[in-house]
Every structure is written in C-alpha cells, then in structure tokens.
Structure 1
Amino acid sequence: MTGSSHFPVRGIIEGFYGLFYTAPERNDLISFIADHGFNLYIYGPKNDRQHRARWREPYPDFIMKQFAETVAHSMNRGIEFCYSIGSGVSINYASEEDFRLITSKYQAFYDIGVRHFMIMLDDIAAEFHHEEEQLMFNSYAGAHVYTANRLFHWLKSLDKSCKLSLCPTDYHGRAPFSDYIHELGKGLDQEIDIFYTGPEICSETISEQDTADFAAAVQRKPVIWDNYPVNDLAMKSEMHIGPITGRESSLPRVCKGFIVNTMSQAEASKIALLTFAEYFKNPDCYEPWPSWEKALKTIAGEESYESIKLFAENSLYSCLGYPEAALLDLLANKALFSLRSGEAASVSKDVQKLFDYLDSLDEAGYHLKYRMSNYALRNNLVPWIEIMESLAWAGRRAIAVLRALENNEDITAPLNWLKESVSEIRRHPKRYTGSILLPLIEYVESKVD
C-alpha cells in the first residue's frame, strides 16, 4: 500500500516558539520531506512577528521574495505550501478592518502561488477584548465560526482551489470535550480542516478512540497536530531525537492525517521525521526502534552511526515516556550497587563497565564534533554533545577519585577535576541523561568527606 492509502495529509508544521528557520533551512526541509512521502508544509512559527504578534503588518518586500522562492520550490517538489496567520492573539472579531487585514495578507501569499491557508486560534485566552464583540457574538466559538466561515468563502470566491484549515483554541483533551469544540464543529463549513493534538498538548499516546471522540465532537475527521519532536518553551533544554511511538495503527480510520511540529533544530528533526515517514507508509507494520536506527544512519551517515547512536540512546527524554538513558542507568546502578556492597572501584567489573561506557561516550562526542560530515546536524547537536562530554568526564573522574583513595594516592587533582565537571553539568542549560550519574557522584563525595 502507498502512503496516501493510509493518511491523505502527511505534513510538517513550522509551528514552534523560539528561533525559527532560515529560508535555506526551510527549503532544505521541504526537499527532505518531498523525498520521504510527505505532501504538506505549514508555515506558522510563533515568533514570526508578522505571523502572530504584529500580524496586521505586511511582510517586508525582501521577505516576500524569499517566500515566493520557497513556494516555487515547494511546488517543484510536489509539496503543498500552507501559510498560516496567528491573528487570534489580538483580533477584534467584530472589526471589518481586521478582517480586511487578514484577507490582505492572504492575498499577498495567494499572489505568489499559495492556495492553502490556515488561521491559528491556539494558545490564546478564550475571552473577548472589545465591547462590540460581546454585542455581536453570543460565544467565543460563535466568533470563530463566523470569522473562519467568512474567510473560507472569501478564499473560495478568490479561487475555488483554495483551502482553509483551523487550529482551535481547545485543541487537545478527551471526551466529552468543551462546549466550544461542539459549537465549532457544528458551525464550521465541512471543508475546513480542524487540528487535534491528542489527549494532551504533547501526547504520549494518541488512540483511535480519543481521535474518534474528537471527530464526533467536531463533526469531521480531524488532522492530528503531533507535538513531537517539538522542543520549545519548557522543553527547550531537551533534544528529541527518538522515534515516534504511541500512535495507534488504526488512526487512518478516524483522522485525515498528521502534521508534525518539528524542533527549531531542523536537521536533527529529520531523525524523528523519518520514523514518522515509516509509520505513514504502513502503520500496521511500523517498528519504531529498527526504523529509528535506520534514520540515525541515514541522517548522520554510515561512518557516524555508532557515535550518533551512543549519543541518541542517552537523549530519549520526551513526552513519549520511554526511558531516558536505559543502558547508562543500568550500568550506573550496577556500579553503585557493587561499590555499596564493598567491592573496590579498582577491581569491580561493574565499575569498569561503566567507565568503559563513559569512555565511549567521550569518543562519540569527539567524533560528532570533529569527524561527522553532516555539519548541520553537528551544529544542531553541539550544546547537547558538550554536556554529554562533561557527564562522561564527571563519571570517570568520580571513579578516578575512588581508585586514588583505595591506593592511598593524593586525590587533590582528580577531586578538583571532578568538581569542575560537576559544576559544568549544573550550569549547563541543556538536559542530557537526567540525574542518572548523580547518586554515584554523591557516593564519591561522601567518601571524600
């Protein structure tokens, strides 16, 4: 079966907060998804001021020229380019001028070839800010229905091929869902697509049942907005480099497809995207971890596979809930158990296994920084590679302090080095392996005290 047999919509969305893509990064990502069975790219980065905070302003001419080049590139690669506007942050739904400003911006993108548009009404307060809105509408949902339907009919009068999608204010949850969602579903034109992120904003699992319940509430099959691998806001310390899991194979029965919200690190996002591509091809046969290993090899290159796998297997903390660094956790626990059982660090096989693994992490970091040929991936990962190296040094230096103590050697130098590494880890803004090595370090500190 082809990918289109399962999910008609197979897209990604540049929809995160924080540093958004450069035009070359965006164009490269469009080429990448075109090569791997995707068919839609939605533009909607929250920190683009003309998209959201200052949505009433037109884009500068030179930026529109960049957009025109990107839209043409998308067309050439068979990717539908969708422009979204985040006007919900400050719109007056009763204002003719605000409606005109939205259509003016849509018109500018229509003129460079865009035919798919979106209005983002997410991450906003569900309340009116103007008296005339309260007089005109009985509910917040009523204002959204009125505005979206009016935009939809305006687009259709411009060109019958135009489409409109909508991200609602309530975009996640479980049945029975809010009155807002039910009113939105009842009132919106049936051709307007609605997005759903699953039971949570960032969902560990998305089931057929939850999606079917949302579909019933909005009276149409939704498009799933998958907030993995995105790593913005409270997640910006995390590198989401694992495979997609927890999406039931039966989802094609109840949704139109997926849009995947990527990380601000475009190249690193490709690893998770390749696992989505495998899931889209055949959800029933999708195997996350073999797919992931294949993706690591494809993106990092054959010569860097072992190093990227060592790095990635310790960077698995995310909403998906799988163990953050399973092997390191096992090795660290075994080493600590051996030490607490009275084994000397100098002779313990478990301590040596941990030391050797930490040594391999250090070597992997060196390779990824100085030998990997995918420079874009290297640049995306450098902050996390650096904390991986600090952790590797901290663990090995902790063991070195214990061995020096056992041999009645001066521990001044190794102890200072350990403190330096621990300080680096605590100051570092990125998360890597969590606190797995902390019990070992605390054990060593207790021995020194």
Structure 2
Amino acid sequence: MSTPRRFISGVVEGFYGRPWTMEQRTELFKRQQKWGLNTYLYAPKDDYKHRMYWRDLYTAVEAEQLIALISVAQQHDVEFIYAISPGLDVTFSNPREVTALKRKLDQVKSFGCRSFSLLFDDIETEMCPADKQAFSSFAHAQVAITNSVYQHLGEPETFLFCPTDYCDAFCTPSVSQSSYLHIVGEELLPGIDILWTGPKVVSHKISVESIEEVSTVLKRAPVIWDNIHANDYDPQRLFLGPYKDRPTELIPKLRGVLTNPNCEFYPNFVAIHTLATWCKYSPDGGQTDAEMGDEGQDPCYRPQKALTLALIDWLQEFQSTDGPGARLKKDSSDEEPMQTDVGESAYVPGPEENPLYTAEPLTLYDLKLLSDLFYLPYEHGLTARTMLQELDWLKNHSSAVAANTDQTAEWRSRAQQFDEMCEAVVQMFNRLSNASNRSILYDLYNYICDIKSGVGLARAYVKTLGGHGQPSAQLMNDEPEPWGFRGGLSGEFQRMLPCHGNRDLFRHPPMTQVYCIRPYCPEDKVQVQRILKETRCSGGGSTPLMMQPPLICDGLSAGELPPSPHCALVIEDGVGVCGYALALIDAKQAAAKIQRAVSDPMFEDFPSLVTMQVLPHVTDSSPAKRTIGHLLSSVRNNGSKGVFCEVRRSDQRMLNFYTNVSFKPIKMAGLPPEVIAMGTRL
C-alpha cells in the first residue's frame, strides 16, 4: 500500500521585483518549521538566471549560495523546490534548447536539490514558426518539454508545472471547455503536479466547486499558487490581512497551497502565519488548533482569530532587540563613548523647558489598526471602512453645521469621533517609528508614511467643514506642493479614463452623477424601447439592424412580453431613464416565440432569462452592478436556480459587463453564430 503524499504547504517567492536576500530566506525557513509549513518554491521573477537568462549556468559564487540555501532548507525540514521559467524565448522544437534546460537543472540537482518546477506563466501564447511545424498546439509543446525534463531528472517525487492558462479568467471559453487545459490534463505525466491561482490571477474567493471543476479537467488536484497577499502589481498597496475566503473544505480537494506574498519580506509575517493556521486543517497537518473554536463548538478556521494570533506573535518581533535589523541593546561595557567628557551627567531639562522625548511602546491595538488600514486586495479592514463611511457622511451632511439644524450636534459628535480615529493613526505611526526592530519598520515605512499623510489631509478637511480654522492650503490651492497630493504619471493617466474609481474598495463612493434605481412601471415601456434601439444601433458590427438575429430577450425589452412580477427595474439619472434590467422566471414561452428548442437541457439549469442595457453615456458601472444584483436576488426569491442571457457578439460592452458580474458562456441549442449565451447559478 503506497503512502499518501503529504499536503504541500508553504511559500513561493514568485513576485516581480527585488528578490529576498539569503538571510531573509533563512529566516523564512525557521518560521516555516516553527509554524508547520513544509515547502518553499524558489521562483523570483527578477532573478535573471531564473527567467530572462535561464540558459546561463550559475557561477561558483552563486552555486555556493544556492547550495547553502538548499542545505538550510533541509535542516529546517522545508522542501526546496527550484523553479525555472524558460517560456519567454525557448524554442520547444529545438533539441539544443531542451538540452540547455536539462543541463541547467542538472547543475541545480548537483547542489542537492531534489524537487523542481517548470513555469510557463505570463508569456506570449503565439508559437514561433519552427514550433508551429513541430507541434499542433502550444499545450502540446509545453507538455512535451515538461515530460522530457521530468523523466530526465528521474521523475522526482515533487515536480510542479505552471500552465500559461493558470486561472479561470484565462481559459477560453471556460475551464471545462478549454482545449489547452484538456491537453495538459490528458498528456502531462501523472506524477507532475499543476499550479493554479483560482478564478483570477488575484482571486477574491476560491470555491470547492471551482477546484472540483478544474481538477476534473486536469485529472489531478491542483496546487494553489495564491496571490491573495501579492502586491507587486501596485507600489502603493500592502496586504496585512488574514488568509481568508478559502474554505477549509478545499484542503482534501487540493494537492497543496503556496502563498506568493508581498514583495517586502518582513511584513509577510501575517500572511504566512495565518496560512499556517489554515493549513492545520489538512488531513495530515497534525492537530487542529483548539484556540480557534469557541468552547462547545467544533474547531474551525476563523480569519479574525487567526489574525489576532498572528499579530500577538508579530508584536514580539517588533519589540525584539536581538532579531535581524533590531537596535542593539545598550551595553555599557562594550560601548565606546563618543564624548571626551565621560563624567558629564545626563541632560535633565529645567521646569520651564521642553521635557525629554519618551517613546511609547507599540501595542497590539496598533498592529490591528495597521492591518485594518492595509488589509486585503478586495476589502479594507473594519476601521478603514468606518473611516471612509464617516468621511463620506460628514462631507454630505456638512450643510447641517452652517444651517444650525437638529443634525448639527450629531455632525459635530461624528466629526470628533473621526478626528480621534485619525489621531490613532498618527499615534500608531509614531510608535511604529520607534519600534526596536528596524528591519520591519523600514519595509513598512513608505506605506505608513503615506497613510498618515492621507489621513492628515482628510482630518484637515473635516475641521474646515466644521468651521475650525481656515481652509487648508494643501486642500484648496489650485497648485499644491508635490507633497500635498498623490500624483505621478500613472495617477494622471487614470484620472483621464472614464471608469477611474470604479474599482475602489469603498462600497458606495461619492459619485459626480446621482443615479436612482426603481421598479419598472408601464409608463417606462417607451423609454425601454428607446434604450433598446439606441444600444442595438451603437453595439458595433456591420450587420444592418433589421438583419440582426432575434434574441429571446428582444420581446421582453420591446414590451411584447411582460416581465415577471417584481423582476423589472430601471435606472434613472438627471435626464431620465438611462438603463433597465428585466427578467422572466420561466423563459420557455419566450424561447418558443422565436422557434428555439424549449426541450434544450440548458433550461433545466438556467430556467430564467435576464436582459439588461445601459446607455453608453453611463460610464460608471456601479449603478448597473447594483441593479443586476437586485434583479438576481428577486429571481432567486422566486425559486429559480439559474439565469441566462443572450448577447450579440458585436456588443462587447455588455459582454464585458456580464463577465464581470460572474456570468459564463454556456451551450444552447439553435443559437445563431452571432449570439453568445451566458449564465450564472443562483
């Protein structure tokens, strides 16, 4: 009976930017051993011999460093996986290229490495002419070279492959119908594991259903390369929130999980610590953590509890005076005095002079606040959300101060609470700046300095609204100094684009245009027909309007079929109705009207029809997303288990919209080639 392979858990150093130092990696291995994580994947994108110059062998000095690193990993029971990324310029059909790849990995094997990985992520998908002649597809080329290398190395127990289509979003047309993934799953040797990032490159949530789907196609459980804490795509963001939105029910469905965290090494304490807590629910991960569950309940992973446990341990590192980068303890016996007058006593200020500065110690509350301010890619922490909501309320109700209404007292009270929250951020910054461990501080400094400045501007603005002081020059001047605003060329470009701000994490950001979402009424029929006509004319394509294939939803939008009760909404702006969303709980009648096959099994999974259109001048996607959310909720409340829509291929705008709200392409009988059916389960 074969022994089951252990669950892979640990860290992938796979980000773009400055790689970690050998000392930091050694520190990582110590932490992994302490926390029960067993794997490290060496894949720094900007180590030029890993990716750009993958053919070059390591020099004697570089070899010595890698040998030492592999040895340290082994000493701490961490499996060292060496990854190489030849996909930028490899010619798959050239035997000399394959030989060069094997020679490079043979060299690393001679260093004591026993586990390897081939990565083909983030590369062009067009093959060169020579490879097109030798291979029928890009997937065949990658599988051929990977299988060859795997066998050459003696079929190591751990060998990882990263596909070019490494998440749901990259698969065409979908995961289940991806020819690329099907070839990889069928032809890649079974001993090779496959890396996968989830629904997206940076996945908000990873569901059991999505992993079961990709596992079926790949014919093996994937290893998650998790980018939830990665920040290499935005120099202004750092992620200090817990590992979350991955249910522990995933663990038996996976081969393993590796986190690809922040570029900065020391702030990754929380990311790795909370992942380690999550991994304790692995079937072979040892005892579950009794602290995670309340008394009388089965233990289960709770992100906020895991975060608190991580921050408690991290606080000790901040206070450490003997760790890497820490200020040295004062030892009078070893200290060389700088002054010549060693007998002079310490300075003591007089009664009317400034007192000596005394640094306050960093607290657990400070670290919780820090985590809230730099939480996760798809959400702010509780304190950050509260501050944004309070600032929004204070701004929108500032007229109450001047009018001296009954709301004035409430406004001033909430302004005071907002000021206290801002002051807490300033004090957190001060205490962090005085922490003993300088290495952690230096990795955090740019971020905490930036947030302190931003909070300071908001604080000054609220005081101005409340009549306390003159308007700040930083806020009101048409030409503020560079330190008074957040800018740069990237910011300038974004502000010129129509959808700037639509991806803000603040759920209901103030908008320049006010939109109203209300129930559809019979008087709206003419306006809906007008919007249908305008959007069909502006949808692109060269086919005349009268010659375009009919959609099932056309009768609904044109008013020939009434929408189901409570399943019709319109969007209004300052001019009038600018969009609509309609639904039929049972779409078979509408399908029969245009002679579609109502016996299509698709109707079993997606019985309901939705249709939506918004005029092109509405560039803010927020009202449309809220409207479709309300509509789908109504359809679900009517007992439906799934909805579908039909979109003309020329209407790229609505295709993108439905994709962004989790609709996926589905098969539908009798569908004209110019039309795409998309569906989502409720």
- TM-score strictly above 0.5: yes
Partner of 1:146: 144
Q: What is the correspondence of 1:295-314 to structure 2 with a 5 Å cutoff?
A: 295-301=310-316, 303-314=362-373
Structure 1 segments unaligned to the other structure (5+ residues)? 440-449
Cα distance change of structure 1 residues 215 and 167 upon mapping to structure 2, 3 Å threshold: same
Contact persistence 2:45–2:51 (CA under 8 A): yes
Partner of 1:339: 398
Q: CA deviation at 1:171?
A: 0.8
Partner of 1:258: 257
Pick the structure with greater CA Rg: 2
Q: Identity percentage over the alignment?
A: 24
Out of 393, 396, 399, the residue aligned to residue 456 of structure 2 is: 393
One-letter amino acid matched to 1:144? Q
CA distance in 1, matches of 2:221, 2:243: 22
CA distance in 1, matches of 2:363, 2:107: 44
Contact persistence 2:379–2:505 (CA under 8 A): no
Out of 482, 487, 492, the residue aligned to residue 427 of structure 1 is: 487
Aligned residues: 424
CA distance in 1, matches of 2:505, 2:199: 26
Cα offsets for 1:305-333 (capped at 9, x unmatched)? 22222222122240468778222123323
Cα distance change of structure 1 residues 288 and 168 upon mapping to structure 2, 3 Å threshold: same
Partner of 2:42: 43
One-letter amino acid matched to 2:422? L
Q: CA deviation at 1:244?
A: 1.5
Contact persistence 2:208–2:249 (CA under 8 A): yes
Contact persistence 1:92–1:130 (CA under 8 A): no
One-letter amino acid matched to 2:387? L
Cα offsets for 1:3-40 (capped at 9, x unmatched)? x9997110210011112111111211122112111101
CA distance in 1, matches of 2:101, 2:138: 19
Q: Greater helix share, 1 or 2? A: 1
Partner of 1:318: 377
Out of 314, 329, 332, the residue aligned to residue 388 of structure 2 is: 329
Partner of 2:165: 170
CA distance in 2, matches of 1:307, 1:123: 38
One-letter amino acid matched to 2:303? P
Structure 2 segments unaligned to the other structure (5+ residues)? 169-173, 283-298, 320-361, 402-406, 492-500, 511-682
Out of 356, 360, 364, the residue aligned to residue 428 of structure 2 is: 364
Q: CA deviation at 1:86?
A: 0.4
Contact persistence 2:202–2:226 (CA under 8 A): yes
Partner of 2:221: 221
Q: What is the correspondence of 1:101-120 to structure 2 with a 5 Å cutoff?
A: 101-120=100-119
Q: In terms of mean alpha carbon deviation, does 350-359 or 307-316 score higher?
A: 307-316
CA distance in 1, matches of 2:38, 2:240: 22
One-letter amino acid matched to 1:378? L
CA distance in 2, matches of 1:195, 1:27: 24
One-letter amino acid matched to 2:162? C
Cα distance change of structure 1 residues 7 and 270 upon mapping to structure 2, 3 Å threshold: farther
Cα offsets for 1:253-298 (capped at 9, x unmatched)? 3211101112111111121111111111127710001211221221
Q: CA deviation at 1:64?
A: 1.7
Contact persistence 1:10–1:39 (CA under 8 A): yes
Cα distance change of structure 1 residues 228 and 424 upon mapping to structure 2, 3 Å threshold: same
Out of 285, 293, 302, the residue aligned to residue 300 of structure 2 is: 285
Partner of 1:100, secondary structure, is helix
CA distance in 1, matches of 2:394, 2:311: 29
CA distance in 1, matches of 2:435, 2:441: 7
Q: CA deviation at 1:365?
A: 0.6
Q: CA deviation at 1:337?
A: 4.9
Partner of 2:76: 77
TM-score by length of 1: 0.86
Q: CA deviation at 1:51?
A: 0.6
Contact persistence 1:202–1:319 (CA under 8 A): no
Partner of 2:133: 135
Partner of 1:352: 416
Q: In terms of mean alpha carbon deviation, does 160-169 or 143-152 score higher?
A: 160-169
Cα distance change of structure 1 residues 267 and 6 upon mapping to structure 2, 3 Å threshold: farther
CA distance in 2, matches of 1:423, 1:344: 33
Contact persistence 1:224–1:257 (CA under 8 A): yes
Q: CA deviation at 1:129?
A: 1.6
Q: In terms of mean alpha carbon deviation, does 4-13 or 280-289 score higher?
A: 4-13
CA distance in 2, matches of 1:255, 1:19: 30
Contact persistence 2:20–2:265 (CA under 8 A): yes
CA distance in 2, matches of 1:402, 1:139: 63
Partner of 2:373, secondary structure, is coil
Cα offsets for 1:110-167 (capped at 9, x unmatched)? 1111000000011112221242x222211111111111111111000xxx65532100
Q: CA deviation at 1:368?
A: 0.8
TM-score by length of 2: 0.58
CA distance in 1, matches of 2:463, 2:199: 47
